[in-house]
Each structure stands twice: as C-alpha cells, then as structure tokens.
C-alpha cells in the first residue's frame, strides 16, 4: 500500500479544510505596483547598468547569411581597434559551446556554419557600444553560401510526413527532423467509414514575436572565488545557471544568477537568458571585468525564439447527430535553426491536438523540423494556440456541414467530469472539470443564440457582423517534459515581516502575488507583511522554470506546504504563550488569540519573540512534487498532465467588407481556474491573453525573405495591438476545484491566450460566410477571400 | 545601447549660420529636424554621415503657420502638433490637416516630426507631402547663394532623392488660399487602428459648386513612382461631374486602374493596394463632399 | 576614429526638479544621458526608434520620445519623468488612478503611460474616450493594460478637476 507523500497530503488537506477566505480570492494591489508607478528605483535588469561604471560592453557580431559554411574568420583588425579589450570566438570558450535548452544543438558562438541570420560569429568586448560596433565592421569572414530553407515543406512532405531530400541544416546529424509525436487511439479508418459527414482542411499559422517591451539584458560580475554573478532577464534562473556554468566549464555553485522583475516575457525569456547570460558571463570571465549587454530591439527581433508556425491537415468525421467519431491530424511545426523548446512545444501540441472533446478514434502525427528561419521556442500557449485554431475551425466547419449551431455541436462532444480524454486519461472530479459550466456561462454572458441569429441578417452597406466561439483545454505545468517540482522558502524576520523566496520569476503575470496570498491565508498575516525577493540562485531553492502556467499550481502547492508547516510551529509557540491547544490558535496578525476564548490574546511580535526563546525555528522550506505524468510514445496514451485549465471564449466582430478591416468589438472569456486565488491576477490574464491573442489573430507575423532575413524587425512594421485596437473584454470564472492545487487552483498564464484567435477566426468566418483557415487574418486576406468567392461588391 | 554610429553635431546660431555650415560641410553633414526619420534611418543602416546640423535652434524663425497675401505659409520646422494647434484645423477648406494630424504616427512623435522634415524624407508614406500636393504647394529652398521656390510636384526625383542641392535647406512651404466651397481630406488604411504608416495613403482637394466638381486634386503615396504623386487622369475625368456612385465607380474602374501602378512587397500585394486605392479614393472624395455640404449649413 | 574627434559638450538640464551639469558626446541621446550618465531609471528604453513610447519625457511641457532627442538639444531644458510628477512621499493623481484600477502588470510601459495621461490632461482636462485612446496609441502595452489605462485617465481627470492632485503614498500602501 503506497503512502501519500506528505507534500501532497498537506495540499489535499488545505483543499478540503479551507472554505472561507480572508485574502485568497480578493483583489489586492500587487506588491510591486507602487514602486513601478513611482519609477524611482531600479527594477529591470538594464536599470542597474549605471551602477557599473567601469563595465565593458559586449556586442554580438552576427551572420551575414542565413545558411553558410564559415571558411575563414579573421578578427585581427577587430581586436586591434582602439577601445576593444577582447574579441571572443568559439575557440575561446572554456567549457562547452552550447546553450540549447532541450537538445544540445545550439552553439553560443558558431564556428563551422551559420544557420540563421541571428547566429553569432564573435563577441566584441569594448569600452562602449559605439566602439564595439565600429570595430565589428572590421571583421573579415569568408563564407561558402548554402541553400537557404525558409519553407518547412522543403524539408518534409505534408501528406506523408517523410523528410525530403534537401541541403541539410543539421548536416552533422543527418536529418532536419527534431521531434515526432503521435496519438493512436481506436481505429480511425473504421471511424471515418462510420461517419455521416467528413470535413478536411489545411490550416496555417505564422511566426509570432513576443515583443516584450523590455529588451533582453545581462550584467556579469566576476567574483573573487573565480566564479561569476549574472543579473539577467531570464524566466528560468536555474536553467540559465546550468547553461552558463556549462559554457564556462565551472561548477554550478560558482555561477550565481539573479533574475530581476522583467518587463514582459511570455516564454521569450525562457531560454534567451541562457544565451545573453552566457555572453555576458563569458566576457566577464575572460576579461576579469564587469560586463554589460543589452540587445537593441532589432537584435531582439532577429535573435530570440518565436512562436512555431504550423501547417496542419485536419480531418474530422461525425455522425449526423454531431457525435465525433474520428479525428486525424498531420501537424508540422517549423522550429527554425535551433530546437530551443521545440520538442516540448511539439509534444504539447500533440497532447491537445484534438481539442477538449471525447474522441473515440484518433490518429495524430506531429513533426517539428529545422529550417533557416529564426528559431522557434516557448511562447504563451506553447503549441496549443496553433492546434486550437485548427481544431476549433474544424468544429465550426463540421457544424456548418451538419446544419448545427457550433455551440450545440460542442456541448454534444465536450469532455465532462468522468469522461476519458483522447489519451485515455480519466477526468475525475479531483482534477476539476468545469468546461461545460464555462461554455454555458459564456453562452449566457454573450447572448450567443440571439446574436447568432441577428448577425446572420446584418448587412448594412459595407458592414457585416459575426460572433464565434472556441473552447479550450490547457494542461497545467510541464507534464512528462521533466520531473515536476517546485519550492519556496518562508522566513519570518525578527521584526515580524516575512521574507518570501522562490526561484519562480515575474515578468508581469503577478502569479507570485497569488503565492503570497496563499501564505497570508494559511499563516493569518496580511500580505503587506511579506517581502518578495527576486529570484537569486544563491538564495532561493530551485523551483523549476517559470513556464507552462505552473507558478500558481506548483509554486502555490509548495507555498501551501511551507506555510502549513510554519503555521504548525507558530501555533505551537502561541499555544505555549496563551495556554490553549495549538489547534485552537487563531492568528489574525497583529493579533493572536484563542478561538474558543478570544480574551486570551497576545501579539504577532510576541509570538515571534517567543519562538526565538523556545528554540523553535521560523524558517520553512516548502517543496512540492507533482504526481508523475505518463505518456506512451507509440500510442499517445497515458495521463500527460496533472490537470487541465478549461475555458470558453466568444468573440464578436464587425467587418468592413470593402477594406477588409476587422474590428473585434467584444471578447467574452470564461476560464475554469479551479479556484481564483489572486483576483487582480486572473483579471489581468484574461485581458492580457485576449489582446495578445487578438494580435496573433489579426495582425502579427514575423516575415522572412527567401534569404532568411527578417523583413520587419521593428515595432512599426511588426504590428502589435494598440489601445485603439483593444476590444471590450467581459469575463467570468468557474471554480471547479483541482484537489491537488493550492485551495483548488489551476494555472491561467497560457490558457488566457489559447482560444482567442480561434474564436475570432470563427466569428470572422461567420460574418463573411467564408472559410478562414490561415492566420493572421489581415485585411488583404479578407479581400482575397471575398474576391475568390465572387463576393466583392461590384461598384468598386 | 544603440545602433547609432558616432558623429558630431553643429548647433547653428541663426539660419544664415546653418546655411553656411551646410554649404561648407555638405554632403558629409546633413540637417536634422525632429530626428524621427534621420535617427531611425541610421539604425537601419540606410544613411551614414560625419555630422548633423541641428535645426532645432532655428525653431523661432522657422516654426509658423500664417496667412499672407493670399497664401498660407508654413515654416519647415513647424511640428505636426503645432499644425494641429493652428487655424488650419478650424478652416473647413483645410480639414485635411486635421485628418493628417490625427493619423500621423503617434502623439509624442507629432511633437518632434516637422513639416519640412516629412517633406524632405521623399518617401511615399510622407503624409505631409501627399496632402500638400493636392494644394499645389511650393517649397522654399534656401542656401548661401539665395533662395528659390520649387513646386512640390517637381521636388521628388526618386525614392529618398530630392531635386535639391546638398547645400540647400527647405525652410518653408506655401500654397494659395483655396476658394470657399472647397475642402480637403486625407485617408490611410492599415491592419490596425492606430499608429499606422498605411498600405495606401490618399489626399483629395475639391472645389464644388452645387455638387459639381469645379476643381479637384488627388494625391497618393504612390501613383507609380516611389514617392507621392498626383492622379491627374482621374482629376481630369472628375472635373465637371457630380460625385455620384456611377461617377466614382468609373473613376476607379476605368481611370485610376489605368493611371496607377502599384508594387507588391511583404506588406501587401499590388493587387490589394490598387483595389484599396480605389476604395479610399471614393471615401476621401465623399468626405470632402460632405465637408463642403456641411459648411454651407 | 578616436574619442577626440567627437569632443564632449557640457549641458545643463533640470530633471524632476534637480539641476544637473554633465558632459555628453554629440551622438548621445537624451535617454542615454538620463539612464546611463545620470542613473535616472524612471525613463525606460524599449526600441530606440520612438515607436514604443517607453522613453517619453515631458520636455519643456511637451511629450517627446527621449530616444530620438540628441542630448545636446536638451541643454537648458526642463525635463519631467514619472518620478517627478509629485513631491517626495506623494504620488500624482495620474499615478493614484493607475493604482486604483490595478493597471500595473510588468510595469515597463507605465512611466510612459503616466506621462502621456498627464500631458493629455494638462491640455484637455476632460477628454473623451477617443481622445484618451489617441494619446495612448503611442504607448504599447504588451501585457494588455489598455482598458485600465483608459479608465485611469478618466479617474485622474476627475481627481484633478476636484482639486485632488497629490496623494500620500502611505494612503496607498496598506
């Protein structure tokens, strides 16, 4: 008989015990809001630069071509340039020349060939950036140009998913296929034979750029013990430490990584911290001086990871009454020059590929391939927004074929509590299955049926209106990607304040505030008592990376553990002081009293002092290890995620059919987050995901030319939504209660974007009576669609 | 922290001083007005220079919007926002300036971008030039050798190439006051609602008498050349006609299509640009018509 | 090629009420001087091209992107950043309003947004939604705070028209 591990038992106990909340679920101003709005103190990495007056600047000399062999590299003139301290090439790297996150395929500085336009040939370390840049112009490189591959279909065939003969990018490997995943459930051939209706389409999505407002930056300081401290924009300080230590050939303990608050991340700062941190650290290590590196916006565009573009063919079969019988999908993801998080993105895309539905027969094949485009990696949603676009469009097209309302078709097939997913995972009550409720609420909030009717008749002049729906699921945390654990430390200081430490980082999502609210709730002290320290690998426990919408669910569970144990000890001390049993102690800091006899009271400060004298330590380390996920490589069967966040999104659009302009009037979102911990945070996420998803749907695309050069590497030709583009956003929440989440909570960072583009695409398709199967839905695409259908108004 | 190379900056004490420096140092030294174009081109690697002449000290002399002797005169260093605070935006004839201001880049850029600077970029998406072309504007070029007026229409030779000597400076723009019963408009369209350059930019001027067009001028970001130009065939076609649906349709389908050629680039295809030009032209003309009508009370 | 070819120039400027004298290179931008020479971090740099709005300052009362202003041009000017909107220990109505509506996520755009709203309200004490959106269109917020900025502008406008310009910081931290 297996014992339930303590860290799980504590979380389960908290879930069942707490019914009423003082802090959890409330909308409280986050810990860093005031400092951010007054602006006086350094907050972001580059804000600290002026403190390092003698530092040297590191400038990356980048490739001239997107695919070429390096025949000769001459840096002698660069080195001689006045003001240059050192020029670093691949051969100067003391450790391993690799910063790949999942696969060791990514040299920090190339030596043999360049594979994309952002590849680095050498680092110039100089007195200032102007000198570094001027010196850089004096590099002499002899290239042997190689064919540039910008179309993944030149690498792989869409029908057969077999690799084609082509000029290999990873010639040392013999193949440009990075990863392959599949799902085999039931018998799709039989399923399609039994289907009354079959719908098959091709879907395409684009490269999306994170466009976080804060460019990447790093400051490295050589330390007296031979190590190095690196302040860097990274979502994963421990991953950065591992990468930097590897590059320098140092033990991890000699590399200290500090991750200040970031100005946006969205996954883009997941692995770029490895790269830019390693550059700064390498320069510091080799020169013995502090070094600074800040990317220009243009550099940021061409060098860091993007969202994987997708080309997919989906085939859906259903019975006349709408029941899904078979789903087949072939999915190709372009991971660009390096794998980055590609293998994991491809896996997540595969897991979620059929959408949150009961699918008895499924055949899914996903392949991620290399090209010479800028490489693709982690970006909010991580493969899920792409497949949801395809799947939710399919469902609408199926509904059209069947003459059913799209919402009704979804209700017919959605996963409910007690159902099995396409992987055979049982969605038990413990997981919190609120999808049906979410869809129901979204339908009511938006007045779906009435609007659907009204808009089908709406045609005033050149204006058409539409309404569309998408439902979604998003597995929480990292599934089978790695061992899934997190940790936090709580330290009560002698003045009564509490230091909160974790290796999880913040780039705006505010999830750490939720962790503070959890600790507040359990300890009984107001959030204002807490001091949230920034992630510092020398001071905080390894909490795993800040990715996969896991901060609340994993960091939160670790916080429950830390707070729970700390609370037991505080109860012990208070009991000693007050004379009532520990279970009777009520903490409402600054007051502490006996629940059954409130006249017996003392103060929070007294309890802390008492602990010191009684020899009861007031630091606690909270650790949480998620139950193991499982995945069969041949069948895609198992329990890939610990739970899923569910959601329903409905979008209303107005289209000017003359110009092709799409205006998103309103987005309704209802997410099942298990439990709302941080009210401010979930609202922020709903809005944030909606607007970033709107950009993905309508206007954003990073474009390469045939030579692999990025054509729109700035913020006016790469369009992100402005204030004038923001729609009305109306949200509601479902709290289905995930038993192993902190008080039942699940994550929202990524789910908040996953369904947006799909809902908008469905709304646009409905408004036009046309198939929209490609993102972004630009005005020109609307024009071409209408032109092809002969629906362009004649008097133009 | 920046993709800017090193250079020197000259700060002239007067316009004469600036012209002297320019005469002496051009083309290795070029003028900078708002900087919203020059400093971005530097980052793009498109231009290179040894030094800049900062024109900002000349703002007192060269920033003005006035009427004089039947002309509207605008100083080259007038910022876009200053245009917005002038009498132009309250005069129905010049409401095109209102459109221009509110669709020009972003509000903070409008505090730096200047009329002269925008004209000097000689780029198709130079909104100021596009509007001024419909007003038959002239540009004043000054140098140590003297001054001359050049019709804006003749100023552009190629993309980012002006018919101007390196030692000449644009100091002013002027156009004749327009008759009553006339108005202007400027329209652009792009894939989001603000902070846009535009796939297509069109400006129109029309003088109408009882709904019949007496005079009309139409300018686009490009009619076929890589700089702003007038659609003269369309203008000819429209003169003497009323802006009915039929006339507008024919103007686009029969005339504009023949007069205009468009390029395809990564932002949009020539097909869509041509089509969009027609749509925006119609809307721009109808807006002018509406403005004239409402001004008649 | 050498430093002497680009002689430094001394400029004087007042930033957030404090007087500074500093030597700058002719090719330096105002944002460089503020952030790296003077250590003033209440101005951010997001793009260096005047596109993102993060670097705006009020220069002699006008909202301008400091990444496009040559430092030498700032000689003799009065610069206000978000840190100078209110005296020590207090925050301005615009800042208070942004906190009221919980507008802050990553915070990178906030210094620019706060100044933009202040600049708007200085010229137009009771702006419409459209006018607010227009001013905000020059400031990207990748975290999606736009709807809250619009609300904040309206709340700040009300505060100011009621004569409530400054608020105690202690009032906000509780």
What confidence score (pLDDT) does residue A212 get? 98
Q: Which CATH class is domain B182-295?
A: alpha beta
Residue-by-residue DSSP string for A241-274: HHHHHHHHT--GGGEEEEE---S--TTTTTTHHH
> Are C107 and A43 within 8 A, CB to CB?
yes
Contact A774, A406 (CB under 8 A): no
From residue C59, alpha-carbon distances to A39, A277, A574, A681, C46 in Å are 18, 35, 58, 35, 19
Preferred mutation among B104, B193, B199, B271 to probe A, highest tally of A CBs within 10 A: B193
What confidence score (pLDDT) does residue B4 get? 79
Residue A1 pLDDT exceeds 70 = no
The tokens for B136 are 């038959």
Contact A694, A653 (CB under 8 A): no
* Tokens 């996903």 found at: A366
Residue C1 pLDDT exceeds 60 = no
Any bridge partners for residue C23, and if so which?
A: C10
Domain of C34, CATH number, reads 3.10.20.30
Three-state SS at B229: strand
Q: What is the mean pLDDT of residues A684-707?
A: 98
Q: Give domain limits for chain B.
A: 8-53, 182-295
Same domain, C99 and C154: yes
Contact B174, B73 (CB under 8 A): yes
Instruction: Give Cβ neighbours of residue B31 (< 8 Å, ≥ 6 apart).
Output: B18, B22, B52, B53, B55, B169
Three-state SS at A132: helix
Final residue in a domain of this structure, among C40, C65, C84: C84
Contact A544, A714 (CB under 8 A): no
> Are B1 and C36 within 8 A, CB to CB?
yes
Run of H or E residues at B206: strand B200-209
| CATH domain A310-479+631-788 topology | Aldehyde Oxidoreductase; domain 4 (3.30.365)
- Residue B229 has a CB neighbour count (10 Å cut-off) of 22
Does the CB of A715 have a partner CB in chain C at under 8 Å? yes
pTM (whole model) above 0.90: yes
Q: How confident is the model at residue A794 (pLDDT cuts 50, 70, 90)?
A: low
Q: What is the mean pLDDT of residues A152-173?
A: 96
Contact A108, A282 (CB under 8 A): yes
What confidence score (pLDDT) does residue C174 get? 55
What confidence score (pLDDT) does residue A795 get? 45
Cα separation of B116 and A106, whole Å? Answer: 48
Same domain, C14 and C30: yes
Q: What is the mean pLDDT of residues C90-116?
A: 98
Does the CB of A717 have a partner CB in chain C at under 8 Å? no
Cα separation of C25 and C7, whole Å? Answer: 7
Three-state SS at A212: coil
- Tell which B residues from 205 to 264 touch A, by Cβ distance under 8 Å: 245, 248-249, 252-253
What confidence score (pLDDT) does residue A790 get? 87
Tell me, what DSSP letter sits at residue B236?
A: H
What confidence score (pLDDT) does residue A796 get? 42
Three-state SS at A407: helix
Q: Give domain limits for chain A.
A: 6-30+485-625, 45-146+216-294, 310-479+631-788
Q: What's the mean per-residue pLDDT of chain A?
A: 96
Final residue in a domain of this structure, among C84, C107, C123: C84
> Are A699 and B245 within 8 A, CB to CB?
no
Q: What is the mean pLDDT of residues A354-359?
A: 98
Q: What is the mean pLDDT of residues A784-788?
A: 94
Buried b (16+ CB within 10 A) or exposed e, B97-108: bbbbbbbbbbbb
- Give which of B6, A379, A715 is closest to C54, Cα–Cα: A715
Q: What is the pLDDT of residues A79-116, one digit of tens each?
A: 999 999 999 999 999 999 999 999 999 999 999 999 99
What confidence score (pLDDT) does residue A13 get? 96
- Do strands A728-734 and A661-672 pair parallel, antiparallel, or not at all (unpaired)? parallel
Contact A645, A746 (CB under 8 A): yes
Q: What is the pLDDT of residues A304-333, one digit of tens each?
A: 999 999 999 999 999 999 999 999 999 999
Number of Cα atoms under 13 Å in the Cβ half of residue A350: 34
Helices C110-123 and C93-100 cross at an angle (nearest 10°) of 120
- Residue A632 has a CB neighbour count (10 Å cut-off) of 14
Cα separation of A702 and A775, whole Å? Answer: 12
Domain of C107, CATH number, reads 1.10.150.120
Q: Which class for A613: exposed (0-12), middle (13-18), buried (19 or more C-beta within 10 A)?
A: exposed
Cα torsion through B113, B117, B123, B128, rounded to 10 = 70
Residue-by-residue DSSP string for A573-617: HHHHHH-S-GGGEEEETTEEEESS-TTSEEEHHHHHHHHHHHT--
Q: How distant is the Cα of B239 from the closest Cα of chain C, in angstroms?
A: 36
Same domain, C61 and C99: no
Chosen CATH of A45-146+216-294 out of 3.40.50.300, 3.90.1170.50, 3.40.640.10, 3.30.1330.10: 3.90.1170.50
What confidence score (pLDDT) does residue A456 get? 85
Final residue in a domain of this structure, among C84, C110, C137: C84
Any bridge partners for residue A219, and if so which?
A: A231, A292
Q: What is the pLDDT of residues A503-538, one digit of tens each?
A: 999 999 999 999 999 999 999 999 999 999 999 999
Residue-by-residue DSSP string for A645-676: EEEEEEEEEEEETTTTEEEEEEEEEEEE-SS-
What are the per-10-residue average pLDDT scores of chain B (297 residues)? 83 97 95 96 93 97 97 98 97 98 98 98 96 98 97 94 95 98 98 97 96 97 97 98 96 96 96 97 98 89
Question: CA-nearest residue of chain C to B102?
Answer: C134
Q: What is the mean pLDDT of residues A339-345?
A: 98
Chosen CATH of B8-53 out of 3.30.43, 1.10.3470, 3.30.70, 3.40.50: 3.30.43
Contact A702, A711 (CB under 8 A): no
Choose among B6, B191, B249: nearest Cβ to A130: B6
Q: Is the peptide bond before C15 cis (omega within 30 degrees of 0)?
A: no
Same domain, C80 and C135: no
Residue A159 pLDDT exceeds 90 = yes
Residue A2 pLDDT exceeds 80 = no
Does the CB of B45 have a partner CB in chain A at under 8 Å? no
Residue C121 lies in domain: 90-172
What confidence score (pLDDT) does residue A405 get? 98
Residue-by-residue DSSP string for A345-405: HHHHHHHHTT-SB--SEEEEEEEEE--SSSPB---TTTTHHHHHHHHHHHHHHHHHHHT--
Three-state SS at A170: coil
Cα separation of A738 and A431, whole Å? Answer: 5
Three-state SS at C145: coil
Q: Among A1-15, A84-98, A307-321, A366-380, which stretch is predicted with the lowest mean pLDDT?
A: A1-15
- Give which of A657, A649, A628 is closest to A691, Cα–Cα: A649
Three-state SS at A123: strand
Residue A378 pLDDT exceeds 90 = yes
Cα separation of A744 and B126, whole Å? Answer: 57
Tell me, what DSSP letter sits at residue A163?
A: B
What confidence score (pLDDT) does residue B232 get? 98
Does the CB of B269 have a partner CB in chain A at under 8 Å? yes
What confidence score (pLDDT) does residue B146 get? 97
Choose among B8, B11, B195: nearest Cβ to C137: B195
Residue A738 pLDDT exceeds 90 = yes
Cα torsion through A547, A549, A551, A553, rounded to 10 = -140
Q: How distant is the Cα of A666 from the closest Cα of chain C, in angstroms?
A: 12
Residue C170 pLDDT exceeds 90 = no
Q: How distant is the Cα of B180 from the closest Cα of chain A, in angstroms?
A: 30
- Give which of A383, A379, A377 is closest to A364, Cα–Cα: A383
Q: How distant is the Cα of C76 from the closest Cα of chain A, in angstroms?
A: 23
What is the ipTM score, two decimals?
A: 0.97
Chain C residue numbers touching A135 (CB-CB < 8 A): none
Q: How confident is the model at residue A241 (pLDDT cuts 50, 70, 90)?
A: very high
Q: Which residues of A touch B (CB under 8 A)?
A: 46, 129-130, 133-134, 294, 296, 298, 658-659, 661, 663, 698-699, 703, 705, 711-712, 716-717, 719, 721-725, 776, 778-780, 783-784, 795-796
Q: For chain A, give the number of residues.
A: 796
Choose among A37, A262, A510: nearest Cβ to C91: A37
Cα separation of A327 and A473, whole Å? Answer: 17
- Give which of A631, A150, A545 is closest to A366, Cα–Cα: A631
Q: Which CATH architecture has domain A6-30+485-625?
A: 2-Layer Sandwich (3.30)
Q: What is the mean pLDDT of residues A380-388?
A: 98
Choose among C50, C67, C72: nearest Cβ to B54: C72
Does the CB of B1 have a partner CB in chain A at under 8 Å? yes
Number of Cα atoms under 13 Å in the Cβ half of residue C140: 29
Cα separation of B2 and C48, whole Å? Answer: 7
Same domain, C80 and C106: no
Any bridge partners for residue A704, and if so which?
A: A710
Contact C9, C22 (CB under 8 A): no
């Amino acid at each position: 008989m297996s014992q339930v591990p303590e860290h799980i038992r504590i979380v389960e106990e908290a879930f069942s015990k707490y019914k009423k909340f003082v802090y959890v679920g409330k909308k409280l101003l986050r810990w860093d809001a005031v400092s951010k709005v007054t602006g006086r103190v350094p907050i972001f990495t580059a804000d600290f630069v002026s403190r390092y007056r003698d530092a040297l600047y590191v400038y990356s000399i980048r490739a001239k071509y997107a695919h070429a062999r390096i025949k000769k590299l001459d840096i002698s003139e660069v080195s001689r340039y006045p003001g240059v301290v050192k020029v670093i090439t691949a051969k100067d790297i003391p450790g391993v020349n690799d910063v790949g996150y999942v696969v060791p395929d990514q040299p920090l500085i190339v030596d043999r060939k360049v594979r994309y336009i952002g590849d680095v040939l050498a680092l110039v370390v100089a007195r200032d950036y102007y000198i570094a840049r001027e010196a850089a112009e004096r590099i002499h490189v002899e290239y042997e140009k190689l064919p540039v591959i910008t179309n993944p279909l030149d690498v792989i065939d869409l029908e057969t998913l077999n690799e084609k003969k082509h000029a290999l990018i990873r010639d040392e490997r013999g193949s440009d296929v990075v990863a392959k995943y599949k799902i085999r459930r039931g018998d799709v051939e039989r399923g399609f034979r039994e289907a009354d209706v079959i719908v098959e389409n091709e879907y395409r999505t684009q490269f999306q750029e994170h466009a976080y407002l804060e460019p990447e930056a790093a400051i490295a300081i050589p330390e007296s013990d031979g190590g190095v401290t690196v302040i860097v924009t990274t979502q994963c300080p421990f991953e950065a430490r591992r990468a930097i230590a590897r590059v320098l050939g140092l033990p991890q303990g000699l590399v200290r990584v500090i991750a200040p608050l970031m100005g946006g991340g969205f996954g883009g700062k997941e692995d770029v911290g490895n790269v830019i941190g390693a550059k700064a650290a390498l320069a510091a290590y080799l020169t013995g001086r502090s070094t600074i590196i800040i990317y220009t916006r243009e550099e940021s565009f061409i060098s860091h990871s993007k969202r994987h573009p997708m080309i997919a063919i989906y085939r859906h079969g259903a019975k006349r009454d709408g029941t899904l019988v078979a789903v087949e999908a072939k999915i190709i993801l372009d991971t660009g020059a390096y794998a980055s998080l590609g293998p994991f993105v491809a896996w997540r895309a595969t897991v979620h590929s059929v959408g949150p539905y009961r699918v008895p027969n499924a055949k899914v094949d996903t392949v991620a391939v290399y090209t010479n485009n800028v490489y693709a990696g982690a970006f909010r949603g991580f493969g899920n927004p792409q497949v949801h676009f395809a799947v939710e469009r399919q469902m609408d097209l199926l509904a059209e074929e069947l003459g059913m309302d799209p919402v009704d078709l979804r209700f017919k097939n959605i996963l409910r509590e007690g159902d099995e997913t396409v992987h055979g995972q049982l969605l038990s009550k413990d997981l919190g299955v609120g999808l049906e409720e979410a869809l129901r609420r979204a339908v009511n909030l938006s007045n779906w049926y009435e609007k659907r009717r009204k808009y089908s008749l709406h045609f005033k002049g050149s204006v058409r209106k539409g309404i569309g729906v998408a439902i979604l699921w998003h597995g929480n945390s990292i599934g089978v990607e790695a061992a899934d654990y997190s940790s936090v430390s709580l330290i009560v200081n002698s003045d009564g304040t509490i230091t909160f430490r974790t290796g999880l980082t913040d780039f705006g999502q505010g999830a750490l505030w939720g962790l503070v609210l959890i600790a507040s709730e359990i300890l009984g002290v107001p959030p204002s008592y807490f001091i949230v320290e920034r992630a510092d690998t020398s001071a905080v426990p390894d909490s795993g990376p800040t990715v996969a919408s896991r901060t609340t669910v994993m960091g939160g569970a670790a916080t429950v553990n830390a707070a729970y144990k700390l609370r037991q000890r505080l109860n012990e001390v208070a009991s000693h002081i007050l004379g009532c049993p520990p279970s009777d102690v009520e903490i409402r800091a600054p007051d502490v009293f006996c629940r059954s006899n409130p006249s017996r009271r003392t103060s929070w400060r007294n309890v802390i002092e008492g602990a010191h004298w009684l020899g009861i330590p007031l630091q606690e380390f909270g650790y949480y290890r998620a139950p193991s996920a499982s995945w069969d490589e041949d069948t895609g069967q198992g329990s890939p995620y610990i739970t899923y966040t569910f959601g329903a999104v409905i979008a209303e659009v107005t289209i000017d059919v003359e110009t092709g302009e799409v205006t998103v009037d309103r987005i309704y979102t209802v997410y099942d987050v298990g439990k709302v911990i941080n009210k401010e945070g979930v609202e922020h996420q709903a809005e944030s995901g909606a607007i970033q998803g709107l950009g993905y749907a309508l206007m954003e695309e990073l474009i390469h030319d045939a030579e692999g050069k990025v054509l729109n590497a700035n913020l006016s030709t790469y369009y992100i939504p402005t204030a004038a583009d923001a729609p009305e956003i109306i949200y509601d929440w479902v709290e289905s209660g995930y038993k192993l989440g902190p008080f039942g909570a699940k994550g929202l960072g990524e789910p908040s974007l996953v369904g947006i583009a799909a809902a908008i695409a469905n709304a646009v398709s409905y408004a036009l009576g046309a198939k929209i199967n490609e993102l972004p839905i630009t005005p020109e695409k609307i024009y071409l669609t209408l032109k092809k259908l002969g629906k362009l108004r004649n008097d133009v | 922290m920046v993709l800017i190379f090193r250079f020197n900056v000259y700060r002239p004490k007067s316009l004469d001083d600036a012209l002297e420096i320019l005469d002496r140092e051009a083309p290795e030294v070029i003028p900078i007005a708002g900087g919203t174009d020059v400093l971005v081109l530097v980052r793009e690697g498109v231009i290179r220079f040894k030094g800049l002449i900062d024109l900002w000290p000349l703002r007192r002399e060269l920033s003005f919007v006035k009427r004089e002797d039947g002309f509207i005169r605008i100083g080259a260093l007038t910022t876009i926002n200053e245009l917005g605070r002038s009498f132009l935006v309250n005069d129905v004839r010049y409401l095109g300036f209102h459109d221009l201001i509110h669709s020009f880049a972003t509000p903070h850029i409008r505090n730096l971008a200047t009329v002269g600077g925008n004209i000097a970029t000689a780029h198709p998406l130079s909104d100021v030039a596009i509007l001024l072309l419909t007003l038959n504007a002239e540009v004043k070029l000054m140098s140590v050798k003297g001054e001359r007026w050049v019709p804006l229409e003749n100023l552009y030779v190629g993309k980012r190439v002006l018919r101007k000597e390196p030692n000449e400076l644009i100091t002013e723009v002027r156009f004749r006051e327009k008759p009553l019963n006339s108005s202007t408009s400027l329209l652009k369209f792009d894939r989001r609602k603000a902070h846009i350059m535009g796939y297509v930019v069109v400006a129109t001027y029309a003088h109408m008498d009882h709904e019949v067009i007496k005079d009309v001028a139409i300018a686009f970001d490009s009619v076929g050349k890589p700089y702003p130009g007038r659609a003269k065939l369309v203008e000819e076609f429209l003169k003497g006609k009323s802006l009915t649906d039929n006339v507008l349709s024919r103007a686009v389908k029969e005339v504009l299509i023949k007069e205009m050629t468009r390029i395809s680039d990564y932002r949009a295809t020539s097909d869509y640009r041509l089509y969009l030009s027609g749509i925006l032209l119609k809307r721009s003309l109808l807006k002018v018509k509406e403005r004239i009508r409402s001004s008649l009370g | 090629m050498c430093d002497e070819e680009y002689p430094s120039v001394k400029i004087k400027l007042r930033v957030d009420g404090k007087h500074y004298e500093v030597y700058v290179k002719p090719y330096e931008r105002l944002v460089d001087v503020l952030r790296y020479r003077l250590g003033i971090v209440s101005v951010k740099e997001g793009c260096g091209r005047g596109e993102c709005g993060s670097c705006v300052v009020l220069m002699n009362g006008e909202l301008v992107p400091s990444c496009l202003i040559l430092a030498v041009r700032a000689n003799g000017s009065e610069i206000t950043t978000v840190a100078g909107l209110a005296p020590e220990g207090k925050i301005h109505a615009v800042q208070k309003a942004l906190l009221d509506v919980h507008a802050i996520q990553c915070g990178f755009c906030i210094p620019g947004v706060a100044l933009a709203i202040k600049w708007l309200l200085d010229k137009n004490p009771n702006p419409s939604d459209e006018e607010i959106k227009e001013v905000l269109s020059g400031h990207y917020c990748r975290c999606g705070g736009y709807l809250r900025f619009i609300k904040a502008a309206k709340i700040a406008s009300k505060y100011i028209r009621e004569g409530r310009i400054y608020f105690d910081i202690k009032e906000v931290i509780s």
